[in-house]
Structure 1
């Protein structure tokens, strides 16, 4: 196949559609710094990895500086050796990998254990990009240069070995403690196998005997092949070697992956990387990223801010991970292969807040398929998952797939079964999980049924989850109230008015754990008594969770005693250093000043968080990115708005860091943001208009964005009274 034909084919297969837009003047892929968040430091540790893969790619490829675990990622910036290049499916530090494969070039003596084969490297000899990774490993004349690029299910490596030495490529099918499978075929120049490892297998109810991560590895030149160990042993890794004659030419390696079969891995590779043209594959991946990043064009940011912004967008576009393999997918909910498309690695407790909302703007063509994937999981496993990895894991609380479904329906997305959506969210809200009366649903408790809404059997009677029966009860009560509001929206959309009114009433049950004596949310026991103030929280405490009423801020204002009272509590929260931006429950809190007539404080707080919690450095994310949520917060906040209640389709106004932004919507329309004097010295909004009409409230709607309107801010150096007269619905 000629070069241009190969390029066209790879572009189609990497992205799922032909890129029909000419490259813009600026190379936005150059602006992304994938090393942001990969190491600790003054700001924090974002727990990201510099993976090479397309947006939503099934397999990400990353230098392995350590073996992953839970907790533990394949790459950590402070490490100084590399023991391989992993085809990883790990979504976050606290989630394990599954079905991974590792490739490692070696010279000299064959070494199989990671600690033995690891080679030193320096970050000075490292290039990390969304479309390409390069590193030099080893010392002096014995150094090996490794390069890699990728497509959705495959990767292409190029290794340059030291002259005059034996050249060898190790393929690790499975690590010690896992019995994988591997076979060699010298005539075909191929190593193939599978890895059954699923690190989180003990966290959910499904055993999945058919689960495998399959791979096919092919080489650009003839090789002598062998497997290891000579005698299979559970305490030794399993894999194979391809050994080449000594020489000065590069060795190229291409790898196909699949969750369906070795044959499907081979077919994925044939479709995506049919030849040995490294630069063509890299260019195809580059162009897919360029098109996606160009969905948002911004002006007015400093060089550092641009790096943070587009790296955040890169991180947000990695998840959820596609499981589709050209019309088929493996389901980790019934352990079978199905026709159609699917996705996994939805960290719903995290991403419902802003990440999914961002995807509705920058990847609208994916939303219907993502929601349908959750509904397929429901049909095949009995429930929509909390955080599939790739199956049920029982990690975190609530059933926030309800929010994703409600947001997609509210914004008018199609491509999924609405009747099935109602059935799924109604089950979340009305059916307690098996064993609910005897299980306390502690986080990561092994051997439990699917958790769903842990404690729901009590909440249906009491209006709250009791802390002396269920772990994380106070947070669950609040999260369930929001999810009930989302279920109500789905009910209304499918014409179930009585159910809409029922779940809308139930969404007010958050009030059952508001302690009027302290004006804090507080867990209650089964007998109605108050539990301790520090009991029953999920990755937070009373200060954060008292504000966790995303769907009824007006009602929260009433409980607090009015707008001034809530504003004073917000002041104490921020001035007392209770804000915990490194974890998701706090992400909406600075935007609550919009609801109490003090939007200039939202503008101050948001700007301060962008300035202090994000940076263009390896420690530039203060907390787990959690499948793009931390990054999505920055993207929204830099644009000047944020989805406090994501399923409502309403975005609260903050303080635009950009001077101009252009969001290309799915139908080709463009939503524009203009901020006169939107620089660091002018963070306050003096006035705001939408298509020239003054904004009546500090908010903008998704419908305005889809219609391609222009949001225009006039900024100033001092606080103004803009937005102070608006009263939140329901505020008393």
Structure 2
């Protein structure tokens, strides 16, 4: 999700809309050139040898630099894969459209345990700690901040360290490592100073709780803030982010504060803008070790998480264990024939993709933000579904298949507890973006053979998405980010059932929704087929052709329609796109779109106009499949050239190395797939269309014990065109492979050359409908 449209409207995040063209990309790259050497060195500062393991190639600063919300919005997070709480230095107060860390900042005013999944979403239940060395007590971020330089920073997925300085140049060292639900922070102070640790439970305007427990050497509390609480239908009176802050060294003094007042005689406080300070004697030991357990269930559960995950005070062992965990996951892919920059982009992309969705469960229980209760089971949140259904989720089926059943089951639990599978849980309904693309995640899991969830329950959930209009469907326009609205589901479904499309004069973003929900109907059909409901399967497959009702043959584009059947303005009805971006939005029926346009030759000419006219917006998800569409138009060599061009132009090993917002791994997933040589254009199908691999060799050491290899020994910057291909020694004449073929193991071999060939040019898939 990122700003896209040229017209003076607002996108789904309520941000002002602008148009990004090729010139802007060139300017962006020029600006990044200065930062290039800084970034490549900073991520590995203090390491004298060349990167030796996959995690050593991760550059956590890619995507951390920019202005407003028009950049990657990433943070240098220390966390486990899919960890519930992420830890990062805080250079600014995060909020909707502002991340905690921005590379250009010069001060750090905290180290935050954050749950913010993307720059355009809010945080919830967070907690902040900050070392201080002044004689006074500094509450406000501006007062407590310390200066730092990137030269004094080390950042990896498993370890972060920075040396900061106050105005008198006193150094304070901070280090972080983490587990699923806890963070370990180690602060080193100058000898003999007044050393303190601030625990900020809540900010101004947020009522929270903090208590000093000297007998346990702990400070405990909770933060009930949900920055996205105004979105969606639910109020959650029981929601809280609980924490237990445990110190290894005994504190000499501890105080609680409320607002700008300290309460020396109190051990606890409940109120607005609350927190605590702990003071330490550094005359002998200058280190202060702090472990922070987090929970959404209770303080007791936060303590139990801490006891289970950090049973001893061994920072180095935890750091080394987390490094090993990341190497196991990232090491599923071993690449050869990549430049150093490509390696960093690739493994950083995998790191970003393996952060989301994140755990919401704790030792077999979870708090549900859909009924405000605690349940037994496993749960996940932070599904940026409008983004990740395209490629990120598909990447997880390869790199983290052990998580897929639990992730789908979590969506079904949300359905049981709240009445619907969510669009974008953070951690509850937010009504952000369009469609019901959780249907796609369910269908993809089923078509790929995952069986660890209830298929019948899954069909109930997707059937409700497809057949039940939201409350007040015909009385609302369903604009994005309307506060406290009912769950949006498929806005305008009441009209669509009668007209075969969503009318633009009744419903916002009608043209995009009609097309995307046609794909969702295809996904629902797959689930119907899996549970043996063949009449429903045929019904939904037929209804998935509704996108065709928007094709205007006179203009050769999709176009919104009004409730009386007339054409709306060509500029109306789009979500973060326009008529060019949404021409090929029917991911499930690209052959059908090709037929509407007049056949392969006409479709290829339209794609040429799309790219040559600057209409491809790779910094937003609806354009992500466009480079691969030439495979369906009889000119796969153009796909091979286009995807190489996009990979080169849209990604770099710099602080602005992601073109547009990262979007919970989707931007990175595109690169990882493209680098391997294929992409899930229709993700629910379980098939991948072939592009042009970036490397000479990729070995996928799959979690099922098999190995799948992609070999292109003659690959180079010049040899971008596939001359021929074999799968396990047999000729591959179509530009398609399946998930089942990958999971079975084997070798996909490409013969590459400098000129286009007619490999797979005669592949003409039939329309599905």
Both structures adopt the same fold (TM-score exceeding 0.5): yes
Deviation at 1:28, TM superposition (A): 1.1
1:246 is aligned to: 282
> After the TM superposition, which residues 13-412 of structure 1 pair with which residues of structure 2 at under 5 Å, given as runs?
26-40=52-66, 45-108=71-134, 109-139=136-166, 141-223=169-251, 224-229=253-258, 230=261, 237-247=273-283, 248-412=285-449
Q: CA-to-partner distance for each residue in 1:667-691, whole Å, 9 max, x for gaps?
A: 2011110012112121110001101
Q: Hey, what does 1:6 align to over in structure 2? A: none
Q: How does 1:624-703 map to 2 (within 5 A)?
A: 624-703=661-740
Deviation, 1:40, is 2.4
SS of 2:123's equivalent in the other structure is coil
2:527 paired with 1:496: no
Whether the aligned pair in 2 keeps the contact of 1:558 and 1:731 (CA below 8 Å) is: no
Structure 2 counterpart SS, 1:187: helix
Distance, in Å, in 2 between the alignment partners of 1:203 and 1:317 is 26
How many angstroms apart in 1 are the aligned matches of 2:466 and 2:272? 46
Range 32-41 or range 398-407, more displaced? 32-41
How many angstroms does 1:44 deviate by?
6.8
Structure 2: 5+ residue stretches without partners: 1-50, 264-268
Query: Of 510, 520, 528, which residue of structure 2 is paired with 1:483?
Result: 520
Question: Which deviations, in whole Å up to 9, do the C-alpha atoms of 1:308-367 show, x marking residues without a partner?
Answer: 000000000000001110110000000000001000000110000000000000000000
**Residues 44, 620 of structure 1: 8 Å contact kept:** no
* TM superposition shift of 1:730: 1.9
Deviant stretches of 4+, over 6 Å: 231-235
CA distance in 2, matches of 1:411, 1:257: 35
Alignment match, 1:592: 629
Q: How many angstroms does 1:721 deviate by? A: 1.2
Q: How far did 1:731 drift?
A: 8.9
For residue 14 of structure 1, what is the aligned residue in structure 2? none
Q: Specify the SS of the correspondent of 1:610.
A: helix
SS of residue in 2 equivalent to 1:184: strand
Instruction: Using the TM superposition, give the Cα deviation of residue 718 of structure 1 relative to its aligned residue in structure 2, in angstroms.
Output: 1.1
Q: Secondary structure at the match of 2:197?
A: strand
Contact 1:173/1:180 (<8 A) preserved: yes
Whole-angstrom distance in 1 between the partners of 2:672 and 2:309: 31
Which of 610, 633, 636 aligns to 2:647? It is: 610
| Kept after mapping to 2: 8 A contact 1:177/1:235 | no
Answer yes or no: is 1:425 the counterpart of 2:462. yes
1:467 to 2:504 alignment: yes
Alpha-carbon distance in structure 2 between the residues aligned to 1:478 and 1:309: 32
How many residue pairs get matched?
707
In 1, Cα distance between the equivalents of 2:399 and 2:756?
A: 32
Output the CA distance in 1 between the equivalents of 2:529 and 2:605: 36
1:514-569 deviation digits (Å, cap 9, x = unpaired): 11111111111111111111111111111000111100011101100110000000
**Is the CA contact 2:191–2:282 (under 8 Å) kept in the aligned structure 1?**
yes
Q: Which range moved further: 424-433 or 136-145? A: 136-145
Task: Pick closer, same or farther for the CA change 1:173–1:338 going to 2, 3 Å.
Answer: same
For 2:137, what is the secondary structure of its paired residue?
Answer: coil
Verify the 8 A CA contact 1:45 1:622 in the aligned structure 2. Answer: yes
Distance 1:137 1:236, change over 3 A: farther
Change (3 A) 1:331 1:168: same
Any conservation in 2 of the 1:399–1:428 contact (CA below 8 Å)? yes
Unaligned runs of 5+ in 1: 1-24
Deviation at 1:152, TM superposition (A): 0.3
| Preserved CA contact (<8 Å) 1:200 1:393 | yes
Q: Which TM-score applies when normalising by structure 1? A: 0.95
Secondary structure in 2 matching 1:577: coil
Whether the 8 Å contact between 1:465 and 1:477 is mirrored in structure 2 is yes
* Alpha-carbon distance in structure 2 between the residues aligned to 1:542 and 1:118: 48
Give distance in 1, aligned partners of 2:137 and 2:298. 29
Residues in 2 aligned to 1:439 and 1:158: alpha-carbon distance in whole angstroms: 52
For residues 239 and 402 of structure 1, the distance between their equivalents in structure 2, rounded to whole angstroms, comes to: 43
Q: Does structure 1 retain, via aligned residues, the 8 Å contact 2:208–2:271?
A: no
Residues 182 and 310 (structure 1), Cα distance of their counterparts in 2 relative to 1, 3 Å cut: same
State the SS of the aligned residue for 1:158.
strand
Q: Distance in 2 between matches of 1:44 and 1:579?
A: 17
Match of 1:715 in 2: 752
